[in-house]
Homo-oligomer: A and B are copies of this chain.
Amino acid sequence: MDRLRMEKQIAFIEEIDRVKQIYRRTILMDGSRNENDAEHSWHLAVMAVLLSEYAGEEIDLLKVVKMVLIHDIVEIDAGDTYCYDEVGCLDKRDREVRAADRIFNILPDDQAREFRELWEEFEECNTPEAKFAASLDRFQPLLHNYKTRGLSWKKHGITKGRVIERNSLISEGAPDLWEYARDIIEKAVDNQFLRE
Contact = CB atoms under 8 A, between A and B. Distances in A.
Q: Does more than half of chain A's interface fall in helix, strand or loop, or is it mixed?
A: helix
A128 B35 CA distance: 34
Contact of A13 (B32, B107, B143): B143
Contact of A49 (B21, B47, B66): B66
A109 interface: no
Contacts of A1: 54, 176, 179
Contact of A20 (B35, B47, B51, B70): B35
Category for how many chain A residues contact B: 35 or more
Interface in A57-78: 61-62, 65-66, 69-70
Nearest to A5: B53
Nearest to A140: B13
Given A38-B42, A65-B45, A51 B16 contact: no
B28 A20 contact: yes
A147 to B, nearest CB: 6
